[in-house]
Structure 1
Amino acid sequence: MSEPSRKIRVAICGGGISGLCLGVALSRYSHIKVDVYEAAGQFKEIGAGVMIWARTWRILELMGLAEDFAKVAHAPPDGSMGVGFDYRRSDAPKEGFRFRLVQMPYGCIRFHRASFLDAFVNHLPPDLAHFGKRLLSYAYPSNNTTRGAQLYFADGSTSECDILIGCDGIKSTIRTQMYENRAGETNDSSLLSYIKPLWTGTIAYRGLVGVENLKKMGGEDHRAIENPMMYCGKRRHAVSYSISQGNIVNVVTFVSEPEKNGSYYPDDDWVTECPQQELLDAYKNWEPEVERLLKCIERPTRWAIHHLKPLPFYVSNRVALLGDAAHAMAPHQGAGAGQAIEDAYILACLLGKATIDTVEQALLAYEKVRLPAANAVLQGSFESGKMYEFDSVHGEEYAVLGPAIQAQWNWISATTVEQDVGDAIEYFMRIAPRSRM
């Protein structure tokens, strides 16, 4: 491949997990100039816990980041078999029972979300980040001399890039404009239905529990301290797992109204505080260890769980969507962060082999590999939530439901990251103009 005539200018809008991972990965290529634009005054994450699985850990290894992430994990991952989740039937006042134990290599690797983000921030060259930059819109110049985009920010500033990457989350401005533009170009108004996130019909209550506080509440040997737990009941389930080197238990509980799936949430504010009693009432008459756990959450927050319809495309010209902007999903498989990291890593590998003349083909190769994979996980994650609440086609038939839940995790090992990168690069090399490679 010949040397590129000039650097590829990549603008990343959004400083969450996908944006920072991509920024770190691209910063290692000398022929790429990276700028990360973040609307807030600093990089930050909301939420308390984040989990990843073996294939995402492999990406961190390939990026040379595993050692730093191991320092902030609940325990240093060593590749041995671990618990993914321990599934219990818990919606009765008596002692519940296990109906499935899902185990896999590495198990569930857990982090405090802020520490997870910081591990990426610590590897991002400081001159790449621009704060207080909320993107309003982008446009292609009329003479198209740069074949890139002009960026317009809320503070009145502008910038130029060859490639614009939308890492701006579930309410993505870039996705909105991309789909509005395509709908106008093709006279296909159905594309507008992919812009706005849809409520799943589920409300989540979140909180952090100090392990010492849990022990004082009579939970000295509480299962949530040792293993990731999935407490299951009809139209409800509760997830718990330790983070911060095992000192804190992250708790997320879900209350579902399946008939409201696909509707628009009636409130503009998706995250609010709520009284503890609201949470306790939702799980009244559940097994004692669930009630003990929830009584430790003094100030829960209430979250309306949204996801996207599976998008038909992630790329338009030299603009691409990553992470939640492309495939925001319900959290029932703990897959959102991992899918964002896969997006970033595979795109970085492709752009690392591109020139200024072949970036469009690199973006198409990214979409070719990542769109079907991420959309499948999006749909599977929603279906998993239904299984946990005995609302799937398997109902409460544990002998069938348990293996079905296990099979939902097959995507973790269906391919390797190296295979997916290889497939993407092979496709890129096939479609890229050979005279310019």
Structure 2
Amino acid sequence: MPSSEPKFRVAICGAGIGGLALAVTIGKFSDIPVDLYEAKSTLIPEGAGISIRRRTIEILKVLGMHWDLIKICTPKPNMTNGPHFRLSDNSDGGHDWFHQVYPHGGPTSMHRTDMVDVLVKHLSPSTRVHLNKRLKAYTQTGPSEVTMHFTDGTEATTNVLIGADGIRSPVRRAMYENAAQYDPPPFDVSRMEEYCEPSWTGSMIYRSLIPMSKVLERYPDHPAAKDMMFMCGKNKHILSFPVNQGEMLNIVAYATDPANKGKHFEGRWNRDITPEEFTEVFSDFEPMARALTECGENPSQWALFVTNELPFSSLESVALIGDASHAMTTHLGAGAGQAIEDAWILGRILASKHVNMSNVPRALRIHQAICLPAAQRVVRESAKNGLMYDFRSEEQCHAPRSKESLDRWRMDIGKRMAEFIGANGTAANWYDAELQLRDAIVMNESESDADRLLQKVAAMSLTTSDVTSVSVPVNVPCNCYSCAVMLSSS
């Protein structure tokens, strides 16, 4: 039974997919009051289509969103669909490379706005949304109090602050600036800007959302109308997938200059461009690919940035999730899903009856130990896939596209996609981990021993075919792994 008085208050900066998912999770499993601060005047997000994988769908089902997902997903969850790959950098015509199939269900796509609408629908009454609240910085004003300073000159206090505020996260910067004041600091202060500022990948993304009827009118048998497609070429590729129940086609095209990786990017990160500019970038691609660029409506150009690998994502009673912690390239379609996984695990930790104000910092360190290394592995593997789509890996730069080479690269891409996209939550492995943690409670191990055990459990998750846990067997009472560790130190 929930207590009459909440054990602490939580503030979430950023009402994107990760921030909303965290608020939903906390609200489903506790009565903790949540204040959700959004910098914009609306919850309507930027961007168009997103993909989520099987393991993410499992989380959303547990949160009670299954039937809402059915209405917005293209294709329906659990279908064995997978992307088609083509070699497209030949203006006279390309050819099929391979088709990736997921026997147990592949990724499903939707419009980002539809996903946000579903999450908002499931917010609990204990969550209050504040618009036009852009964080400037925060200060830890006491062991159990954080003061948030907003750009409009106002302030607010909370007990726990979560930065879900994106790749240019003010929470992340304030966290590292505060950590730099420690004696000694918990990180190399000379790398402060590397951790606080995003890094340009050297890639430009071209986005467009096209009515499917327009594509089929121009190219009646275009395979993009049915399945996700990758049209690959040297330093460039085009990704397309249906959204809005197949009524629209989402286009995300990439052009990369490897020499620009890590350089300072001049100007705005995104801008509107003309259809002619879009088409010109891919003028050397096959007609099937050019048909999509020529159909583009209101195209835009985005510089692709990532968060550099962080040494930590929590400090005292403040933590980071999603892009604020590990913004990644889009080459595994894992960004939104990883934010939801962060939110799910953190929400369950904070909602646990074993977590209180005195051990919140420890709870946040547990979230970091479980989620940060796993997400950073996804970041690295996503980058590897991007290199291979564009024939920029070390081997591809020096080897001809022979049948043997193409088969080897196909296997490499396929293995990585199957591992990170087609797999479900490793419930059995994490149930074993939970039992180990319960054993630690019975044995009354010290906090340092429990910490070492936690690191062992986190390492276990990284050696399986998946990255982190998201599901619990239906016949197992939900006393999750993190709750057990909390109890061991209480």
TM-score by length of 1: 0.93
Q: Distance in 1 between matches of 2:274 and 2:309?
A: 35
- Name the aligned partner's letter for residue 180 of structure 2: A
| Counterpart position of 1:223 | 223
**Segment drifting more, 194-203 vs 297-306:** 297-306
Secondary structure, aligned partner of 1:40 = coil
| Counterpart position of 1:361 | 362
**CA RMSD for the aligned pairs?**
2.1
Q: Distance in 1 between matches of 2:359 and 2:2?
A: 12
1:337 aligns with 2:345: no
Q: Distance in 2 between matches of 1:415 and 1:210?
A: 32
Q: Distance in 2 between matches of 1:41 and 1:17?
A: 16
1:183-202 matched pairs, under 5 angstroms = 183-185=180-182, 186-187=184-185, 188-192=188-192, 193-202=194-203
1:73-222 matched pairs, under 5 angstroms = 73-77=73-77, 79-83=78-82, 85-104=83-102, 105-125=104-124, 128-141=128-141, 144=142, 147-185=144-182, 186-187=184-185, 188-192=188-192, 193-217=194-218, 219-222=219-222
Residue 388 of structure 1 and its aligned partner are, at CA, apart by 0.2
Secondary structure, aligned partner of 1:12 = strand
Change (3 A) 1:81 1:30: closer
Q: Distance in 2 between matches of 1:194 and 1:172?
A: 11
**Segment drifting more, 420-429 vs 153-162:** 420-429
Residue 4 of structure 1 and its aligned partner are, at CA, apart by 9.4
Q: Deviations over 1:67-103 (max 9, x none)?
A: 11111112332x23211x2111000023322222211
Q: Distance in 1 between matches of 2:164 and 2:426?
A: 21
Residue 359 of structure 1 and its aligned partner are, at CA, apart by 1.8
Change (3 A) 1:346 1:417: farther
Q: Deviations over 1:375-427 (max 9, x none)?
A: 01111111111100111134142121001101222134667264558557435
- Name the aligned partner's letter for residue 205 of structure 1: Y
Residue 108 of structure 1 and its aligned partner are, at CA, apart by 2.2
1:51-66 matched pairs, under 5 angstroms = 51-66=51-66
- Name the aligned partner's letter for residue 171 of structure 2: I
Q: Distance in 2 between matches of 1:227 and 1:362?
A: 42
1:182·1:191 contact (CA, 8 Å) conserved in 2?
A: no
Unaligned runs of 5+ in 2: 435-456, 459-479
Q: Distance in 2 between matches of 1:95 and 1:119?
A: 41
| Counterpart position of 2:406 | 398
**Moved beyond 6 Å, runs of 4+:** 1-5
- Name the aligned partner's letter for residue 264 of structure 2: Y
Give the strand-richer structure, 1 or 2.
1
Change (3 A) 1:394 1:428: farther
2:240·2:250 contact (CA, 8 Å) conserved in 1?
A: yes
Q: Deviations over 1:182-211 (max 9, x none)?
A: 223235323412110010000111101111
Q: Deviations over 1:264-321 (max 9, x none)?
A: 2122x10101122222111113111111111101431010000011111111111000
| Counterpart position of 2:41 | 41
Change (3 A) 1:432 1:30: closer
Change (3 A) 1:298 1:4: closer
Q: Distance in 2 between matches of 1:413 and 1:244?
A: 22
Residue 362 of structure 1 and its aligned partner are, at CA, apart by 1.6
Q: Deviations over 1:222-267 (max 9, x none)?
A: 0110110000000000000000000000001111001211222122
| Counterpart position of 2:307 | 308
- Name the aligned partner's letter for residue 207 of structure 1: S
- Name the aligned partner's letter for residue 406 of structure 1: G
1:416 aligns with 2:407: no
Change (3 A) 1:32 1:195: same
Change (3 A) 1:6 1:294: closer
- Name the aligned partner's letter for residue 389 of structure 1: D
Secondary structure, aligned partner of 2:381 = helix
TM-score by length of 2: 0.83
- Name the aligned partner's letter for residue 134 of structure 2: R
Residue 332 of structure 1 and its aligned partner are, at CA, apart by 1.2
Unaligned runs of 5+ in 1: none
Q: Deviations over 1:161-190 (max 9, x none)?
A: 111000000000000111122223235323
1:204·1:302 contact (CA, 8 Å) conserved in 2?
A: yes
| Counterpart position of 2:9 | 9
2:210·2:297 contact (CA, 8 Å) conserved in 1?
A: no
- Name the aligned partner's letter for residue 161 of structure 1: T
Change (3 A) 1:138 1:285: closer
Identity of aligned residues (%): 34
| Counterpart position of 1:264 | 264
2:269·2:302 contact (CA, 8 Å) conserved in 1?
A: yes
Change (3 A) 1:183 1:213: same
- Name the aligned partner's letter for residue 62 of structure 1: V
Q: Distance in 2 between matches of 1:329 and 1:75?
A: 24
Q: Distance in 1 between matches of 2:73 and 2:226?
A: 14
Residue 372 of structure 1 and its aligned partner are, at CA, apart by 0.8
Q: Deviations over 1:102-127 (max 9, x none)?
A: 11132220001111111101111365
Q: Distance in 2 between matches of 1:2 and 1:48?
A: 39
1:183·1:191 contact (CA, 8 Å) conserved in 2?
A: no
Equivalences, count:
428
